C-alpha cells in the first residue's frame, strides 16, 4: 500500500513537472533555484559551523519546531485541492490503517516532503558539532519527518469539516496568506525579542529547552540534550517525540477512517445580498459591466482576494518596516510607493489567465477586445490610482517628509498608469497561467508559469523606458526646482497615453487572438 501510494504520488508529480515544454522549462528553472537555495543554505551552515558552532544546535531546534508549524498551516492552505484526499479512495476496499500510513508516506514524497527531507539532511551539518549529537539526529530523522508530515495531514483533516463551508475556507486562506506574507514582520519581532533575550542568555536557553520538550521540537530536542550530555532529558524528549508521532498517526488514521465512510460534502456560501452599489457607480455598458464583474471577483474569488489584499498590503508593509528600522532616510520613503506599479503589472496581464474557461463568455457574446481591455483596466485603475496617491501623500504626512513628495508622486502615478497599459497589451500575448476557478489559490499554476515571469520582465522594461523622460525632468529639478511639477505633468500624460494605447493595441490583438488566448489559458498542458 505504502509503495503503491508513493509511486502514485511520484508519478503525479512527474506528470505535473513535465506536462509541456513550458512546464519543463519552469521545472528546470525552479529546480536550479531550489538547488541554489539549498547550496547557499549549506554554505551558511558550514560557515556558522566553522565560526560559531555552539549557536547551531539550539537554532536547529527552533527551525525544526517552525517546520512542523509550517506543515500544519501549509496543509490547511492546500486543503481543498489535495491530490490524495482520503475521499478519493472511498470506493476501493481499503482499510483505514494501511491507507493512512500510505497517504502519509505519499505526502513525504510530494514537493513539500522532498524539500523537508533536503533541509533535514542539511541540518546534519549543524549537528556535526559532536559525534553523539550527530548520531542522535540521524536516528531522529525519520521521526522528525514523520512529525512534520503527520502534523500537517492530521491537523488539516481535523479542521476539514469546518472547511467544507466556502466562507470559512475563503476567510482562512486569506488570513493564513497574510500571516505568511508578513513572516518578515514576525521574524523581525522574533529577532528583536531574541535580541532582548540574548542579553539574558539564561532566559534564551530556558526558552529553547521548553520548545525542545514540546511535541513541536522534541524530535530535535533529543540530539540537543545528547549534545549537552543530558541523557535523562534526551530519553524524556524521545518519549515525547515518539508519543507525538503515535498520537498524530492515530488521529490521522481515525480521520481517514471517518472520511472513507462519510466523505466531506462541500457547502456553498448562501445568498448574496445587496451589491447594487457597484452597478450604479459604473455605466451600464460592456466596459462598465466588465469593470463591475472584475471588482466583484476581487472580493468573491479566493484566488483573487489574495492578490487584492496583498497589493495594498505589501507596499504599506514595506514602508512600515523600513520606516521603523530607519534603513532609508525618512524623506526617501515616499519612493517606496513604486512597489505598487511593479506588482500591478502582472495583475492586469494575468487577468485572462484567472478567467480560465470563463473567458469563453466574452468570446461568445462578441464583446470587442477594446471593451474587454478597458473594463479590466478600469476596475484596477479605480483602486490603484487613488491608492498610489494615498501611499505617497500618506507616507509623506506620517513621516513629515515633504521634500520628495512631488517627485515620488510623478514616478508612482506615471508608472502605475504605464503598468496598466503595458499589462493590457502584454496579457494578450503572454496570458500566463492561473489556478482554475474554485481550485486552491496555491495549487497548480499559482506561480503563473514562465509566461508570467517573461511578462513581468517585459513590463518592467517598458515601465523603465517610459519613465526616462520623467526621471530626466526630476534630475533637472535639482537645479530648476519647478521642473518637478513638470515631471508630474509629463509623467501623468505619458501614463495616460500608454494606458490608452495599451487598451487600443491590446484590444485589437485580442480581437484577432481571442480563440488562441482561450486555448492557452484553458490548456492543462
Interface stretch with another protein, choices 15-23, 118-126, 325-333, 513-521 (CB under 8 A): 513-521
Looking at the Cβ atoms of 337 and 518, the one nearer to another protein is 518
Residue 165 DSSP SS3: strand
Count of residues near another protein by CB under 8 A = 42
Q: Is 360 in the site for another protein (CB under 8 A)?
A: yes
Looking at the Cβ atoms of 295 and 462, the one nearer to another protein is 295
Q: Is 21 in the site for another protein (CB under 8 A)?
A: no
Looking at the Cβ atoms of 19 and 228, the one nearer to another protein is 19
Looking at the Cβ atoms of 4 and 20, the one nearer to another protein is 20
As a whole number of angstroms, the distance between CA 423 and CA 419 comes to 6
Question: 258: how many CB neighbours lie within 10 A of its CB?
Answer: 16
Q: Is 18 in the site for another protein (CB under 8 A)?
A: no
Residue 349 DSSP SS3: helix
Buried (b) or exposed (e) across 322-361, using 16+ Cβ within 10 A?
bbeeeeeebbebbbbbbbbbbbbbbbbbbbbbbbbebbee
Within 286-305, which residues bind another protein (CB under 8 A)?
Answer: 286, 288-290, 292-293, 296-297, 300-301
Q: Is 87 in the site for another protein (CB under 8 A)?
A: no
What dihedral do alpha carbons 433, 439, 442, 445 form, nearest 10°?
A: -20
Out of 366, 400, 524, 525, point to the residue binding another protein (CB under 8 A).
Answer: 366
Out of 201, 365, 400, 525, point to the residue binding another protein (CB under 8 A).
Answer: 365
Q: How far is the CB of 293 from another protein (least distance, A)?
A: 6
Out of 199, 232, 271, 479, point to the residue binding another protein (CB under 8 A).
Answer: 271
Which distant-in-sequence residues (6+ apart) come within 8 Å of 449 by Cβ?
22, 23, 26, 432, 433
Q: Is 510 in the site for another protein (CB under 8 A)?
A: no
As a whole number of angstroms, the distance between CA 241 and CA 409 comes to 56
Q: Which residue has the cell 532616510?
A: 329
HSE-CB for 11 with a 13 A CA cutoff: 7
Give the number of residues written for the chain.
525
Instruction: Single out the residue of 313, 290, 293 nearest to residue 301, CA to CA.
Output: 293
In sequence order, what DSSP letters do the residues of 448-502 get, joined into one string?
A: -HHHHHHHHHHHHHHHHHHHHHHHHHHHHTTTSTTHHHHHHHHHHHHHHHHHHHH
Residue 20 DSSP SS3: coil
Looking at the Cβ atoms of 125 and 295, the one nearer to another protein is 295
As a whole number of angstroms, the distance between CA 21 and CA 29 comes to 12
Within 137-166, which residues bind another protein (CB under 8 A)?
Answer: 166
Out of 91, 201, 261, 364, point to the residue binding another protein (CB under 8 A).
Answer: 364
Q: Is 358 in the site for another protein (CB under 8 A)?
A: yes
Q: How far is the CB of 418 from another protein (least distance, A)?
A: 28
Residue 350 DSSP SS3: coil
* DSSP bridge partners of 267: 165
Q: Is 363 in the site for another protein (CB under 8 A)?
A: yes
Q: Is 265 in the site for another protein (CB under 8 A)?
A: no
As a whole number of angstroms, the distance between CA 507 and CA 478 comes to 40
Q: Is 279 in the site for another protein (CB under 8 A)?
A: yes
Looking at the Cβ atoms of 82 and 356, the one nearer to another protein is 356
Q: Is 220 in the site for another protein (CB under 8 A)?
A: no
User: What's 445's DSSP letter?
Assistant: T
Out of 367, 377, 406, 483, point to the residue binding another protein (CB under 8 A).
Answer: 367
As a whole number of angstroms, the distance between CA 165 and CA 170 comes to 9
Q: Is 284 in the site for another protein (CB under 8 A)?
A: yes
Looking at the Cβ atoms of 89 and 354, the one nearer to another protein is 354
Q: How far is the CB of 356 from another protein (least distance, A)?
A: 8
Could you give the string, one character per residue 298-337, with x where binding to another protein holds by CB under 8 A and - elsewhere?
--xx------------------------------------
Within 437-476, which residues bind another protein (CB under 8 A)?
Answer: 437-438
Residue 434 DSSP SS3: coil
Q: Is 514 in the site for another protein (CB under 8 A)?
A: yes
Q: Are 104 and 149 in contact (CB under 8 A)?
A: yes
Looking at the Cβ atoms of 282 and 387, the one nearer to another protein is 282
Interface stretch with another protein, choices 75-83, 355-363, 381-389, 470-478 (CB under 8 A): 355-363
Q: How far is the CB of 303 from another protein (least distance, A)?
A: 10
Q: Is 356 in the site for another protein (CB under 8 A)?
A: yes
Query: What cell numbers appear for 306 in the block?
Result: 489574495
E strand or H helix that includes residue 389: helix 369-399
Looking at the Cβ atoms of 363 and 390, the one nearer to another protein is 363
Looking at the Cβ atoms of 93 and 273, the one nearer to another protein is 273
Query: What cell numbers appear for 35 in the block?
Result: 538547488
As a whole number of angstroms, the distance between CA 373 and CA 160 comes to 39
Which distant-in-sequence residues (6+ apart) come within 8 Å of 308 by Cβ?
298, 299
Q: How far is the CB of 279 from another protein (least distance, A)?
A: 7
- Binding residues for another protein, rule: CB under 8 A, are 166, 268-273, 275, 279, 284-286, 288-290, 292-293, 296-297, 300-301, 356-358, 360-368, 436-438, 511, 514-516, 518-519
Amino acid at each position: 500500500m505504502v509503495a503503491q501510494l508513493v509511486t502514485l504520488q511520484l508519478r503525479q508529480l512527474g506528470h505535473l513537472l513535465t506536462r509541456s515544454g513550458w512546464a519543463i522549462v519552469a521545472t528546470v528553472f525552479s529546480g536550479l533555484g531550489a538547488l541554489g537555495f539549498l547550496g547557499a543554505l549549506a554554505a551558511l551552515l558550514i560557515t556558522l559551523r566553522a565560526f560559531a558552532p555552539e549557536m547551531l544546535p539550539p537554532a536547529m531546534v527552533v527551525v525544526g519546531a517552525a517546520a512542523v508549524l509550517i506543515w500544519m498551516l501549509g496543509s490547511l492552505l492546500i486543503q481543498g485541492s489535495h491530490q490524495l484526499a482520503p475521499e478519493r479512495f472511498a470506493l476501493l476496499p481499503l482499510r483505514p490503517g494501511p491507507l493512512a500510513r500510505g497517504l502519509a508516506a505519499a505526502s513525504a514524497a510530494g514537493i513539500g516532503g522532498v524539500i523537508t527531507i533536503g533541509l533535514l539532511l542539511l541540518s546534519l551539518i549543524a549537528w556535526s558539532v559532536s559525534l553523539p549529537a550527530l548520531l542522535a539526529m540521524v536516528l531522529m530523522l525519520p521521526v522528525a519527518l514523520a512529525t512534520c508530515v503527520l502534523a500537517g495531514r492530521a491537523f488539516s483533516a481535523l479542521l476539514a469539516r469546518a472547511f467544507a463551508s466556502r466562507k470559512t475556507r475563503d476567510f482562512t486562506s486569506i488570513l493564513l496568506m497574510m500571516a505568511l506574507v508578513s513572516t518578515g514582520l514576525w521574524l523581525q519581532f522574533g529577532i528583536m525579542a531574541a535580541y532582548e533575550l540574548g542579553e539574558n542568555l539564561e532566559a534564551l536557553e530556558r526558552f529553547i529547552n521548553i520548545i525542545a520538550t514540546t511535541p513541536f521540537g522534541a524530535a530535535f530536542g533529543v540530539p540537543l540534550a545528547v549534545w549537552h550530555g543530558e541523557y535523562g532529558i534526551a530519553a524524556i524528549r524521545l518519549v515525547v517525540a515518539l508519543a507525538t508521532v503515535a498520537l498524530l498517526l492515530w488521529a490521522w488514521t481515525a480521520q481517514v477512517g471517518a472520511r472513507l465512510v462519510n466523505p466531506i460534502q462541500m457547502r456553498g456560501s448562501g445568498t448574496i445580498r445587496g451589491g447594487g452599489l457597484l452597478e450604479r457607480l459604473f455605466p451600464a455598458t460592456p466596459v462598465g459591466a466588465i469593470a463591475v464583474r472584475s471588482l466583484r471577483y476581487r472580493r468573491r474569488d479566493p484566488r483573487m482576494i489574495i492578490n487584492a489584499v496583498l497589493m495594498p498590503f505589501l507596499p504599506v508593509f514595506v514602508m512600515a518596516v523600513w520606516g521603523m528600522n530607519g534603513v532609508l532616510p525618512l524623506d526617501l520613503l515616499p519612493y517606496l510607493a513604486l512597489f505598487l506599479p511593479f506588482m500591478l503589472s502582472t495583475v492586469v496581464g494575468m487577468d485572462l489567465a484567472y478567467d480560465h474557461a470563463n473567458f469563453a463568455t466574452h468570446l461568445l457574446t462578441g464583446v470587442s477586445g477594446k471593451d474587454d481591455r478597458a473594463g479590466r483596466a478600469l476596475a484596477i485603475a479605480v483602486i490603484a490610482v487613488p491608492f498610489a496617491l494615498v501611499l505617497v501623500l500618506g507616507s509623506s504626512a506620517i513621516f513629515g517628509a515633504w521634500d520628495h513628495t512631488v517627485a515620488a508622486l510623478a514616478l508612482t502615478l506615471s508608472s502605475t498608469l504605464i503598468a496598466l497599459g503595458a499589462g493590457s497589451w502584454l496579457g494578450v500575448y503572454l496570458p500566463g497561467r492561473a489556478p482554475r476557478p474554485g481550485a486552491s489559490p496555491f495549487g497548480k499554476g499559482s506561480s503563473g508559469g514562465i509566461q508570467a515571469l517573461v511578462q513581468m520582465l517585459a513590463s518592467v522594461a517598458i515601465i523603465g523606458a517610459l519613465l526616462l523622460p520623467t526621471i530626466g525632468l526630476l534630475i533637472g529639478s535639482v537645479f530648476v526646482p519647478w521642473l518637478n511639477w513638470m515631471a508630474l505633468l509629463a509623467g501623468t500624460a505619458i501614463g495616460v497615453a500608454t494606458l490608452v494605447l495599451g487598451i487600443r493595441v491590446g484590444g485589437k490583438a485580442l480581437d484577432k487572438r481571442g480563440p488562441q488566448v482561450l486555448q492557452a489559458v484553458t490548456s492543462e498542458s
